[in-house]
Structure 1
């Protein structure tokens, strides 16, 4: 829920048609620091449906000229914006940590990764073109051309509030589309900074538009306006399904949604590596990654040693404010996340799983004003338990004992999600089998379930995605273009 503005703080504006403007509704809300809920990051516009309409109409007016702009002009703007992000990395990382809660090192990496994404698409977009087809008529030429779609609505989450917008907005802009961008209300400031960088880089008015506010108030208006040609969204599966159902059949959608990502630990696995991958995949970013490790399917003979090693490594993790030296686990992003994680920890206990480590809310001393919880490790988990099937989006790992590779694959695939999966093994034959047997869009061997290359496709299967167009990499440009086939004879 958005917290209404009650104290005097700096208030940031929407960006519509090349101008920084207040919402016509006249209302604002606060973004707070999850490490200290008394620390107000800033005030932001609680936008109205009229603001959305204005933003979409501005983007629609700007589209014809931007679609005709040279690829080098578009690329130059992306490169200038990237340079601004890099030049201000320290400030932006501090704002990101304060607003989202992630540790400062991860925040710096995200800022630099976002700048790299803008540069990547500035290059790739200039060579993204159609094809020429051979035919039997020597006096005819047959080609395809890739054209921009028009107005794109971009809706993004709070866990990677700079890098996810960058990997959506950059390919949209370089291919000649115009954008209406709504970030999460938990992290609007760092999103504001991205738009500010594009503004300072000289982007023409109306090409990028930025509005903040509650999805319950303006979400439908962002996706069902007849001028919106495509919607790209990252967030929960339930929200993605709602968006998908509320768009016209002529509106293209790209939905990257939830996950319940498994890590399989085979008999021949390096236990140290398996435990490290679990900790990194399950507890980094406080477990708030759609590709985070939430289930570990470990062979019976290794289970006790693996769990002991996992507890040992988890207990060494320092919890605290992301600015504090040595901290690995920061706060959860908001009170809703905290309540949800604590709820699932209780559900796990009630279902009969054994909580062998952590799971307590930390609400004393330096933790008193933040949304902190210890990472939780459950054993004696069965595949039918809710903590083994439902996305928690927090630092909770369910360890499931299995007796064979076949059993592990069956359990791993028997969920509604299919985003990311990994296996720990030295058996090359098993590794190859796993890459074919597992139902996931991202598959890894001896690596964590989290993380993806900027230049490689990313996306899920089943209810983790619409599985239509992938994000990231060169194929990430395809969603934002349509193909026209041209026959020229003489």
Structure 2
């Protein structure tokens, strides 16, 4: 059966205010609202009367609030403790997390087994730690000899007790047996999203095995299973749409056919907002297959906190109608709120795809419930632990069929209170899997239900009055009309008042992505020629793409006369530019940022063809260029304002800053727009004139940037463009008019510039340099391997490893090194290498044939010594180098930075953390460093030792944000100050202090006029 409905489409992140007007207009009539309140109070009263039943998780979340030190400690231990394989690291983790908590006090006033067990076990652990650190030698010795094993045992037991309240069974057979005679269930196979093909196969087999087991068992009637699409494909992402549709759709269809044959319901779980459109397309294609005709067991989950939830329900209703069958729709509030907020801010979206107030989510949930009731081919499944939500559904239902759902271990008291009064089925969402796979699921549940605004977290607190728990969400929004969380700024405003956030595109929104791709294709037809600002007699040379060697434009390099003329023009224009008000200079840079965003398609097209960048990298660079212009404009307004200084009576002192003269800006090819324009913008903002010398490989992007700066209002003479090779850069640096140099590139060239400046007669000329480094990441055994794999892939292989900040050496703790390396290699094998103009490509080419030859020669040497752990495959034509992983015996075996997609791996022992950090620091390069750990003391220790300019903890090591993560190192990695930081412009300026004796005319009139 063909799929004849158009793909799902709805505005990704519309303003909250627009949706609020629609939602408030759907408020229930007073009589219905009154009935809802009556039912809510009745249910809440019944829940609290059965306090022992509430107790489990609700009491636990109340006792161990996430706003308390103990709650944070429990969450951290729940996330990491069971996966730590070695005792040494486990002891450090326990000491780190338990030393600040007071767990005994919780045991004293808790009536429930879960809270008492966890408090007792963790309290025992805390006492053992305290004894070990006791000043009493006898007590400390006893704790050391007897404490460690007991400490580990008690803590592990506490986590297992907690896990048993969330995991329904460690195997599907155990779960089915437990479900016997206990009502409706939907089983969820625990596990992370797939990172490699083997993961996807393993999860597929687990789902298939579970479906067969459910179908063959008589233990659970009308049971279902929930499937995560991210578990069935290692690159489940919007940019890999074509691959996902080709490879994932058949897998889902096979599971659906199996579920149909076994009489099992199958629900596709909801995931992050950027995957929604892709999820619905996969679901719709599977549903359209003729083999599923007559089956009413297929369904999907919808998240009410997403602004597109109502549109999803309408789309599901249209699908069901077009296929003449029933679909199950599980309506949930949503579980990824924090990550959705962060992603929208990072991507520079116009707004958030989720509501920022819980009350907005609540009323959207009720609006979605009405849509479900009104769709005859949709069977509503309302997942909630909130008594008011249950009461609202009951009041709205009007005898229409539906069911409630709850998580295993939560909401028992509410479901019992409902079942006693109404003949409404409740289905239990039952996680299945070993406790070690519980971690990510458990922490998400703790955060989701342990938030201060959560009904679950407050239900067990007798001090919380019913009117607070049952507050009408319509009234909360309508009076006063606050649709947004006042403490959460819109994505565009997160850097205010300093600057606006640059505008981005969410690739998971097909409409926005298609519009961008269309813009780029139109811009791609241009074939520019880069000309120096001053006439040159050099021959025109072709600019060729590293993708395929084709000519994409041309350039005329500067010669000696054009260099001299450029310097003369810049020097002559310096005084007038320096005299231009800082307000006017800043306005020009703000205008430049606006133009960059308006012309983003042209820049992206050039960045892809000239520098071999993928769409994501190119868009990120365009945004960074705009951010740098706005940031330096804001900094200049602050720094270039005359400042009064303190002093004695009778004197007035002031400080002002101004430009130095002609700044030579020498930029690299790996960021031919962002670094290029950042250097120039800083020089101009500070009041200097500038000569911009781009990398020899990327003059076209730079020429377009200079043209845009001139269009924005920078006078032609103030900014000169001087393309060419190293000889041009050397001539500019050595010129007598050069008053400063800003450089990003190799250490060798930076030292050469430094020597040339030192030998020049006249004034001492400042050098601002950033030179890369052998960047390391340390991973200990508390880290989550899947997250490590994500962060390592991004840090080591994004931009084909051609970032100064890229990860070069991965230091894995010995106990987890084998498994982590296998996972990283498997994930790397899923990266697509090729033409970066193709949306689904993750790695483009290296910059030129010379770079390719150098990398291939290095890798050939590694292969000859048996050092290659993993070698990917790259296209033969073009300048492509596949990702490689190389084994090192010692950190010192890597003698220099290997600038490309090459990751080196070295192992370290649990007791050698400090020694490893010291060894990294001794190398002398200090640009970026990563640390993956759950031990807070290690994070603090690394920060105190400061072995790198930028230290990233539990995240990737690239993509420093302007203003938020100033970028730059020290030692062999640069001179500082940091680009995109508060001190950067100061290095481009001279400081002048003027002191006036105000009493010179015979006395201090101001002092004499002062009142007594």
The verdict on a shared fold, with TM-score over 0.5 as the criterion, is yes
Give the alignment's Cα RMSD to 1 decimal.
Answer: 1.6
C-alpha distance in 1, partners of 2:866/2:987?
A: 43
Q: Aligned residue for 1:126?
A: 637
More helix by percentage: 2
Q: Distance in 1 between matches of 2:645 and 2:778?
A: 46
Tell me the equivalent position of 2:940. Answer: 432
Name the counterpart of 2:928.
Answer: 420
The answer to whether the 8 Å contact 1:30/1:44 transfers is yes
Contact 1:279/1:314 (8 A) holds in 2:
yes
Shift of 1:218: 1.7
Deviation at 1:166?
1.9
Specify whether residues 147 and 54 from structure 1 end up closer, same or farther in structure 2 by C-alpha distance, changes over 3 A only.
Answer: same
SS of residue paired to 2:555: strand
1:457 equivalenced with 2:966 (yes/no): yes
Higher strand share: 1
Question: Are residues 353 and 245 of structure 1, via their aligned partners in 2, closer, same or farther at CA, if it must alter by over 3 Å?
Answer: farther
In structure 1, the residue matched to 2:753 is: 243
Matched with 2:789 is 275
Q: Any conservation in 2 of the 1:345–1:359 contact (CA below 8 Å)?
A: no
SS of alignment partner, residue 384 of structure 1: helix
- Do 1:233 and 1:256's aligned partners in 2 also have CA atoms closer than 8 Å? yes
Deviation track 1:292-319 (CA, whole Å, cap 9, x = no partner) reads 0000111100101110110111011010
Match of 2:545 in 1: 33
Specify the alignment match of 1:3 in structure 2. Answer: none
Offset at residue 325 of structure 1 (A): 2.2
Residue 147 of structure 1: aligned partner: 658
Deviation at 1:221, TM superposition (A): 1.1
Q: Work out whether residues 557 and 723 of structure 2, in 8 Å CA contact, stay in contact via their aligned partners in 1.
A: yes
User: What is residue 583 of structure 2 aligned with on the other side?
Assistant: 72
Matches within 5 A, 1:80-479: 80-128=591-639, 129=641, 131-136=643-648, 138-215=649-726, 217-247=727-757, 248=760, 250-350=764-864, 352=865, 354-358=867-871, 362-363=875-876, 368=877, 370-385=878-893, 388-403=894-909, 404-455=912-963, 456-467=965-976, 469-479=977-987
Contact residue 530 and residue 699 of structure 2 kept, 8 A: no
Per the TM alignment, residue 348 of structure 1 is displaced from its structure 2 partner at its CA by 2.4
Shift, 1:68, TM fit: 0.5
Q: Specify the SS of the correspondent of 1:246.
A: helix
Deviation, structure 1 residue 10: 5.2
Q: Which structure is richer in relative contact order (CA contacts within 8 A, separation 6 or more)? A: 1
Shift of 1:338: 0.5
- Give the Cα–Cα distance (whole angstroms) in 1 for the partners of residues 624 and 924 of structure 2: 31
Which ranges in structure 2 are unaligned for 5 or more consecutive residues?
1-526, 999-1012
1:28-67 C-alpha deviation (Å, 9 max, x unpaired): 2222111111x11211112112211111110000001110
Tell me, which stretches of 5 or more residues in structure 1 are unaligned? Answer: 1-8, 17-21
Q: Secondary structure at the match of 1:330?
A: coil
Count of aligned pairs between the two proteins: 464
**Distance in structure 2 (CA, Å) of the matches to 1:413 and 1:275:** 24
- TM-score, normalised on structure 1? 0.91
What per-residue deviation string (whole Å, max 9, x for no partner) do you get for residues 351-379 of structure 1? x452111166631xxxx2x1111100012
Task: Give the Cα separation in 2 of the matches to 1:453 and 1:112.
Answer: 10
What's the offset of the Cα at 1:458? 2.1
Higher mean C-alpha displacement, 25-34 vs 178-187: 25-34
Q: Distance in 2 between matches of 1:67 and 1:251?
A: 18
* Alpha-carbon distance between aligned partners in 2 of 1:488 and 1:287, rounded to the nearest angstrom: 56
Bigger Rg over Cα: 2
TM, length-normalised to structure 2: 0.45
Structure 1 residue 381 displacement after superposition: 3.4
Distance 2:547 2:941 in 1: 43
Cα distance in 2 for residues equivalent to 1:486 and 1:457? 32
In the alignment, the residues of structure 1 paired with residue 895 and residue 823 of structure 2 have an alpha-carbon distance, to the nearest angstrom, of 24
1:45–1:211 Cα contact (<8 Å) kept: no
What SS class does the counterpart of residue 26 from structure 1 fall into?
coil
Paired residue for 2:989? 481
**Which aligned segments of 4 or more residues in structure 1 are displaced greater than 3 angstroms?**
359-362
C-alpha displacement of 1:413: 2.0
Deviation string 1:156-198 (CA, Å, 9 cap, x unpaired) is 0000100001221112111211000010111111111111111
1:64–1:332 Cα change, 3 Å = same
Deviations 1:62-83, CA, capped at 9 Å, x for gaps? 0011100111211222122222
| Alignment partners' CA distance in 1, 2:844 and 2:935 | 36
How far apart in 1 are the matches of 2:929 and 2:627? Answer: 26
